[in-house]
Chain A
Amino acid sequence: MAQSLLKKKKPVMAENKTEAKPTVYDTKKLNLWYGKTHALKDIDLEIQERSVTAIIGPSGCGKSTYIKTLNRMVEMNPEVRTTGEVQYRGRNIFDRNYYVEELRTRVGMVFQKPNPFPKSIFDNVAYGPKIHGIRDKKILKQIVEKSLRGAAIWDEVKDRLNENAYGLSGGQQQRLCIARCLAVEPDVILMDEPTSALDPKSTLKVEELVQDLKKNYSIIIVTHNMQQAARISDKTAFFLNGEVVEYEDTNLIFSNPNDKRTEDYITGRFG
């Protein structure tokens, strides 16, 4: 009866859905086991291109395992067994005739701890293109500059390209790793807690960079920092005990989540 007293219903701001974009990854009923441990359970997740998708959840919930599945890095562990499908651009990446090298060229990855090679700044970025057979120095130079600019670090390193990458600060090293990733022109960038080893200023720089990169790339980011997920992502998936509890527009997740477990996690009641 009380409902009938409500004359007019206004839309909620938080429910302004983001426009639907083409799907880059479509995960269907994905299950994953490490030996006997069931780490991912019936994951159904559709990830849109040119957007930032955040994966959040407490430690051990399967979020890192999930993104490492997207470039099949998880298979480095011989005990891993999977069922279900992960379609990348319409093709199941678990198909026998799917070349994992091809997948990893299209899908770059940035890790928690910056991991530059013990080489010069220039060679770090030129490494990927060289492996892909680019030998022309002029073209390599162009790629290096474009990638470093893309990762918002060009101005800081342009006069010291031949110096060892280990001389850079942590934040600079992480952006260098992003530049190295961009140099092979990927389609997707996976980021596994890319700022958790960085100071606040470097963190903000990487966050701004992510916002910029999503114009051209699809970004999937695992983060422990909830405010970071809220700040930079378009959609957020909340993982718990290997399951996706809720996957929604970030605005909705952080203003009015559907599931009580999501609410409890993001408001710091557990985890």
Chain B
Amino acid sequence: MGVRTNYETELQNLKGDIGLLSSMVEEGFNKAVKAIVIRDYSALEEIIDRDEEVNRLELEINENATIMIAKQQPVASDLRKVMAALKVASDLERMGDLTVDMAKSALRMDGGLEKNQFKNQLMKLAEMTSIMMKEVLHAYERADILRAQKIAAMDDEVDDYYGDFLKEVIQTASGNEAEDMMQLAFIGRFIERIADYCTNVAEWIIYEVNGRRFDLN
């Protein structure tokens, strides 16, 4: 048995809370994409409401981490684990906010995406981002830096795809459709930002493991 069993348990609990937060954010994102496509009002409203829970859990993680720093005074890799948890929790909370922004934009649109010519493209963008989210959260759980480093390449693909998507949306935006197209462009932008936050999480994984900061963005 290690010397600092209590501390190890507290660290595991902290990681467990991050796991819970990430599954809430991931689930929210996937639900939001579905609801946007079929324009499910009540689902969109629910996504906006449930952000409160994400915020509350992030605060709880912050408080637990602060207490750990104050009471256990961790150093070296112990400290980096706590710092990484704080940063990852904050990035996840931002992803939750962006999911809310996606839902709000969808509510401002006149029609759903069922017949929209950009439906497949938006779904593809969301799928790429959803895979990134899953990958990076797996990497965080296992402190797997090789997996984390691959996130950068995935983000490049999302950025390129988003660039093309945006160009086409802008070219199409005119007349009655202009407002909807603008909201659609916003939704695309929010998804692309979520992918950026995934790379932030990947950077914190690298920091946690080897103490170095890389800019993967």
Contact = CB atoms under 8 A, between A and B. Distances in A.
Interface of A: 2-3, 5-14, 226-227, 230, 254-257, 262-263, 266-270
The list of the 9 closest CB pairs from A to B, nearest first, reads A256-B211, A2-B149, A254-B75, A8-B215, A5-B152, A267-B78, A10-B213, A6-B214, A266-B75
B163 interface: no
B174 interface: no
Given A6-B214, A12-B213, A268-B4, A226 B150 contact: no
Contact of A6 (B75, B77, B149): B149
Interface string B98-113: 0000000000000000
Contact of A256 (B4, B73, B80): B80
Given A6-B214, A7-B216, A230-B75, A269 B3 contact: yes
Nearest to B152: A5
B131 to A, nearest CB: 17
A262 B76 CA distance: 9
Nearest to B212: A12
B153 interface: yes
A257 B76 contact: yes
Contacts of B80: 255-256
A226 B79 CA distance: 14
A226 B212 CA distance: 23
Contacts of A266: 75-76
Contacts of A267: 4, 74-78
A129 B11 CA distance: 55
25 contacts: A2-B149, A2-B150, A5-B153, A5-B216, A6-B149, A6-B216, A7-B152, A7-B215, A9-B212, A9-B214, A10-B213, A10-B214, A12-B212, A13-B213, A254-B75, A255-B79, A256-B77, A256-B210, A257-B76, A266-B75, A266-B76, A267-B74, A267-B75, A268-B3, A268-B4
B54 to A, nearest CB: 29
Nearest to B74: A267
